[in-house]
Amino acid sequence: MVDDKVSPASTAKTEKPAVLNLAKLRFEWRLYVVYFAFGVIFLTFAVTQAGNGFLTVTNLLNIVSETANISVAAVAVAFVIGAAEIDLSVGAVAGLASVTAALAVDHWGLALGVACGLGTGLLIGLVNGALVTRVGIPSFLVTLGMMGVASGIGMWITSAAPVPIQNDLFNGLFGSGFLGPVPSLVIWTAIALIVGHITLRRTSYGRRILATGGNEIAARFSGINTRNVKYAALAVSGLVAGLSGLLYAGRYESGRYQWGTGDELSVIAAVIIGGASLFGGQSSVVGAVVGALLLTLITNGLILMGLDISQVQVARGALIILAVALAKRRLTA
């Protein structure tokens, strides 16, 4: 490594930003584990499963499309976890948003349908944020409760029945459509990834998120309004869960309260595999999305290998644990 040549007694120097920053890599190994894991597993499947069509463009785009809901939500939850909070309600909110969007699309058209879906998510996010930062209830409990509230409302207003969506533009935009050769779900993933990554790494809001999660008191002493930072993270998480709901509605051409059930666990797993610390202060949007893709990749590859879905689940769980164990690095003085 380049900077090993520098004597440790020299005054702190600033490295030039590089594509892969070696100095950073040394201290933030956990942020990069996910890429190694992804690379190794991808290559394994590429070599062994090439004959089963693993490497075809269709299959690879499928993996990305398939993961869109998790990827998009993981981008927002990367901020929430970075700020040392948690959002367990993303899956249930996506389900409810798919329902409100479906109802609105059929009554009032595309624009209001989208607005209703996103609005539902944002509203719930704002309530979550208010309860956590203004009332002072831990986000784990608030969002756990909200999970039940959201999916209950979704079930109630639809009497547990799916709400079909006939609007082809909506379904294309959020589901089966293409932009040139690229599926719309892949585009949504890319948008979330780029916006999220730049926000977390390059804007002062991103720094405030990580500072708040890293040490809330120190952040406050530095003049950061940590309550507002957390409030915003939870509100945006709700909004993005709403977007995930639109993607479900578009993909399945219907709104249903069950869409997204259990997503919260995959999302959190993706964020943590992606290099975030559950205690806040460290997080990566790119890592979270790659983590989400990794989960689907494993499922996809193992199924191509002929494994049963039950066996796939076992392998997936074990790999999650392994990835997190690899990333674990203790601070030593």
Partner 1 sequence: MTVAVAMTDITKRFVSVPVLKRTSFELRAGEIHALLGGNGAGKSTLMKILTGVYAPDGGQIEIYGLPVHFRSARDAKAAGIAMIFQELSLVPTLSVAQNICLNRELHTRFGLIDEAACTGIAAETLQQMEVDIDPRQSVASLSTSQRQLVEIAKALSQGARIVIMDEPTASLASNEVDVLFSLCRRLKDRGIAIVYVSHRMEEVFEISDRLTVIRDGVNVLTTETEKATLDEVVAHIVGQRAKNEFAWHSRAVDRTLEPMVSVSHLTTDRLSDVSFDVFPGEVLGVAGLMGSGRTRLLRTLFGMEKVRGGSIRIAGRSAIFARPDQAIEQHVALVPEDRRSQGLILQHGIRDNIILPLLKKLSRWTFVEDREGSKLVRRLSEDLNIVSDSTYKPVGLLSGGNQQKVVIAKWLGAGANILLLDEPTAGVDVSVKTQILSMIRDLADQGKSVIVVSSELPELLAVSDRILVMREGRVHRVLERPEIGRTDQAAGESAFAGDEESLHRALQAV
Complex with partner 1: residue 93 or 219, whichever CB lies closer: 219
CB of 221 to partner 1, least distance (A): 5
Minimum CB separation of residue 128 from partner 1 in Å reads 24
What's the sign of the alpha-carbon dihedral 168, 173, 176, 181? Answer: positive
CA atoms of 98 and 283, how far apart (whole Å): 28
Q: Please say which residue, 219 or 272, places its beta carbon nearer to partner 1.
A: 219
Of 107 and 201, which CB lies nearer to partner 1 in the complex structure? Answer: 201
CA pair distance 126, 186, nearest whole angstrom: 28
Q: Which tokens in the block code for residue 268?
A: 């959190």
128 by Cβ neighbours in 10 Å (0-12 / 13-18 / 19+) ranks as: buried
Of 10 and 310, the one with the shorter C-beta distance to partner 1 is: 10
Q: Which is nearer to partner 1, 203 or 311 (CB)?
A: 203
What whole-number distance in Å separates Cα of residue 305 and Cα of residue 326? 25
Q: Nearest distance from residue 78's CB to partner 1, in Å? A: 16
List residues near partner 1 by CB under 8 A. 3, 6-15, 17, 21, 23-24, 26-28, 198, 202-208, 210-211, 214-215, 217-225, 277, 281-282, 331-333
Smallest distance, partner 1 to C-beta of residue 259, A: 34
Closest approach of Cβ 88 to partner 1, in Å? 24
Radius of gyration of the chain (CA): 21
Kindly tell me which of 206 and 291 has the beta carbon lying closer to partner 1. 206
- State how far the alpha carbon of 87 is from the alpha carbons of 154, 191, 193, in Å: 18, 21, 19
Give the nearest distance from C-beta 193 to partner 1 in angstroms. Answer: 17
Question: Would you say 109 and 167 are in contact if contact means Cβ atoms under 8 Å apart?
Answer: yes
CA distances from 311 to 273, 306, 308 (A): 21, 10, 5
> Quick one: which of 212, 86, 96 has its CA closest to 141?
86
Shortest distance, CB of residue 89 to partner 1, whole angstroms? Answer: 27
Q: Which is nearer to partner 1, 162 or 205 (CB)?
A: 205
Residue 221: both structure tokens together: 């002493």
